[in-house]
Amino acid sequence: MLRALLKAAVLGAAFASVACGGDAFSAGSGGEDGGTSHDSSSPPGDGGSGNDAPTPDSSPVDAFSEPPPSCSGAFGCVPDVPAGWQGPMEVYAGAAAPPACMVNFAQSVGANDVLQAPAATCGCSCGQSTTTCKPPMMTFSDSMTCTTAGGSCATSTLTPNVCQTLDERSQCATAVTLDMSLLAGTSVMGSCTAAPMRDVPPYSWGIQARGCVSTVAAAQVDCGSGKICAPAPEPGFAQKLCISHAGDVACPGNGYGVKHLYYTSVDDTRTCSDCTCGMPTGGSCSFSVVGYSSSDQSCTGNAVTYLPGTKCAGVQQPGDFRLTLAPTNGSCTASTSSASGTATPTGPVTVCCPL
């Protein structure tokens, strides 16, 4: 069964990695205790700023090497691997990039821990509301009856900032002289454009991890009952071999009682609430009409200014007129855009190591 587990690991079964402390890997011939102990340093690093999960190694390995005739030298006795678990495997966990899997160990997928995901930074602003001005209407009436009858015999609307010659006598044929009234113009404020500011920082991992599964066929060789012969971990890896299982599960015991939990993915829902703009306010339009004694579209001589609301003012006909129109844009109040959501590690893998 253990040979089948090793083969599955090599063919791409899920892995987790780990940092294991405690005594160094032991190698020796015969007996359950496995022989002489060789101390080594613990795995480098246990925190700090990390990167995403490392990619699998690409170095070729012999996945089905035969066990040695004697479990000594570069081999040692370790607890047998329970059914459903992968191993034995060398492991690394730290802030630096993991070392590659080398001789006697198969390439494996990495995992991570200590997720670092700052909250989103959010903001909202609104551009100005563009004001559209509708020019006022000019009405012409008989100057003798303008203030009493109130009727008009002609109307005209000027093009803003253009000198125009008007002669309304032909429309008011019975009038001797004409008066002009200037009605109020109108203004329309358009909506403001929302400008959201959303900054969701990329997440990172404080710890990167990797595990490399032994490619030596599982065998008791000259180890004691319940143990198998496995290659010693390589430099850069923790000096105890471990086992792994997909999901967050309890350690099986059987010599593998120290649990480490790592993750292969992230559920990231960090975002900002919507950015919206309120109704525009403050927009307006100013109007004025200037009449001139000229009647050749030159707008010269004897300028007289008329404002909206002017009633029954005497004007020269024919005469030149110029409409001045000045819009004032409005503004809108921006909504509050708040940060929400979290980044949660997912895809747990359990790694269990000896005490």
Query: In this structure, what CATH number is given to the domain that contains residue 322?
Result: 2.60.20
d(CA 292, CA 44): 91
Q: Is residue 190 part of a domain?
A: no
d(CA 103, CA 62) in angstroms, rounded, equals 8
179 within domain boundaries: yes
Q: Is residue 192 part of a domain?
A: no
The DSSP code for 225 is T
Q: Kindly report the number of other CB atoms within 10 A of residue 247's CB atom.
A: 11
The predicted pLDDT at position 93 comes to 95
Per DSSP bridges, beta strands 194-199 and 138-142 are unpaired
Structural domain total, the chain: 2
Mark whether 45 and 151 lie in a shared domain.
no
Q: What is the pTM of this model?
A: 0.64
> Is 276 a member of any domain?
no
Strand 204-214 to 313-314 pairing: unpaired
C-alpha torsion angle, residues 43, 49, 52, 53 (rounded to 10): 10
pLDDT in tens, the chain (355 residues): 333 333 333 333 333 334 433 334 444 333 333 333 333 333 333 333 334 444 334 343 444 578 899 999 999 999 999 999 999 999 999 999 999 998 899 877 789 999 999 999 999 999 999 999 999 999 999 888 888 876 889 999 999 999 999 999 888 877 778 999 999 999 999 999 999 999 999 999 999 999 999 999 999 999 999 999 999 999 999 999 999 999 999 999 889 999 999 999 999 999 999 999 999 999 999 999 999 999 999 999 999 999 999 999 999 899 999 999 999 999 999 999 999 999 999 999 999 999 8
Q: Answer whether 15's CB lies under 8 Å from 86's CB.
A: yes
Q: Please tell me the predicted confidence (pLDDT) of residue 145.
A: 84
Q: Are residues 169 and 61 part of one domain?
A: no
**pLDDT value, residue 253:** 83
Is 340 part of a structural domain of the chain? Answer: no
What is the pLDDT, as a whole number, of residue 6?
A: 33
The pLDDT assigned to 64 comes to 54
Can you give the pLDDT at residue 66? Answer: 85
Does one domain contain both 14 and 83? yes
- Is residue 88, in this structure, part of any structural domain at all? yes
In three-state secondary structure terms, 177 is: coil
Confirm if 159 and 133 have CB atoms less than 8 A apart. no
Same domain, 34 and 153: no
Identify the CA nearest to 208 among candidates 90, 41, 44.
44
If asked whether residues 106 and 146 sit together in one domain, one would say no
User: In the prediction, which pLDDT does 161 show?
Assistant: 94
Let me know how long the chain is.
355
Sign, CA torsion 218/220/222/225: positive
Strands 186-189 and 131-134: what pairing? antiparallel
Q: What DSSP character marks residue 35?
A: S
Does residue 63 form part of some domain? Answer: yes
Dig out the tokens for 41 from the structure. Answer: 């340093």
- Residue span of the structural domain in which 112 resides: 2-117+202-260+348-353
**Residues 17 and 106 placed together within one structural domain of the fold:** yes
Half-sphere exposure of 39 (CA within 13 A, CB side): 1
Both 17 and 81 in one domain: the answer is yes
DSSP assignment of 293-319: S--SSS--SS-EEE-TT--SEE--SSE
Same domain, 78 and 107: yes
